[in-house]
Amino acid sequence: MRIPCPFCGPRDITEFAYHGDATLTRPAPGDAAMHDYVYLRDNPTGVHREHWYHSAGCHAWLTVTRNVSTHEIVGAEMAHKEAS
């Protein structure tokens, strides 16, 4: 599988580290929903957004859209967009 890094171009997945679901929103500290955020995960099929870190390259954080059933990479973008 190759991930299209915005800076380095298409790179092998071994250069990246998976860092979880990009669709979750962290609740406020002390919120009762924190338990669910930390311990409960869905097991989606189809297209899903994930956080990946380019650990062996430019060290960019990416949000990768991937079909988890076929492993097809639909797209990748910077996880945090810079303010203009």
- pLDDT single digits (tens) 54-81: 999 999 999 999 999 999 999 999 998 7
Task: Give the other-Cβ count within 10 Å of 11's Cβ.
Answer: 18
Q: Output the pTM of the full model.
A: 0.84
pLDDT of residue 42: 85
pLDDT band at 84; cut points 50, 70, 90: very low
Contact between 61 and 78 under an 8 Å Cβ cutoff? The reply is yes
- Segment 35-52 mean pLDDT: 91
pLDDT of residue 63: 97
Which residue type, as a one-letter code, is found at position 42?
A: D
Distance CA 22, CA 1 (A): 19
Domains recognised in the chain with CATH numbers: 2-78 (3.30.2270.10)
